[in-house]
Amino acid sequence: MNIALIAHDKKKDDLIEFVDLHKDVFGYHTLFATGTTGTRVMEKTGLNVHRFQSGPLGGDQEIGARIARGEMDFVFFFRDPLTAQPHEPDVTALVRLCDVYSVPLATNLGTARVLIDGIIEEQSE
């Protein structure tokens, strides 16, 4: 499966720790990420991650294009709801694409736990 990893600056540590905690699961899949997030995930976990541009430079849109082409199975996008994002229209478009194409999207740790449990269950079948 193809899994996208994205995080706003104040949520990067949370996403990286989550991926590291579940690297045995993520390691069985193809990972994609926006620039800085992907670099930090690779440094922390040793997992291979295809990196796009950083979010504000178009990385969110690159992942969105993969969603629209049916090339993304899950998106883990840890958003910071308390900080204004300069590229908020891109963020909104990405979330919208997940809804349009029924791609499961985790925007916080709680939803991420549910999604990872679903991935684990699917792997064991």
Catalytic residues, by residue number, are 60
Look at residue 79 and give its three-state secondary structure: coil
Contact 19, 46 (CB under 8 A): no
Is 35 part of any known ligand binding site?
yes
Is 46 part of any known ligand binding site?
no
Q: What is the largest CA-CA distance in the chain?
A: 42
Is 11 part of any known ligand binding site?
no
Contact 33, 6 (CB under 8 A): yes
Is 50 part of any known ligand binding site?
no
Is 55 part of any known ligand binding site?
yes
Which amino acid makes up residue 33? A
Annotated binding site: 8, 12, 34-37, 54-55, 87
Annotated binding site for substrate: 8, 12, 34-37, 54-55, 87
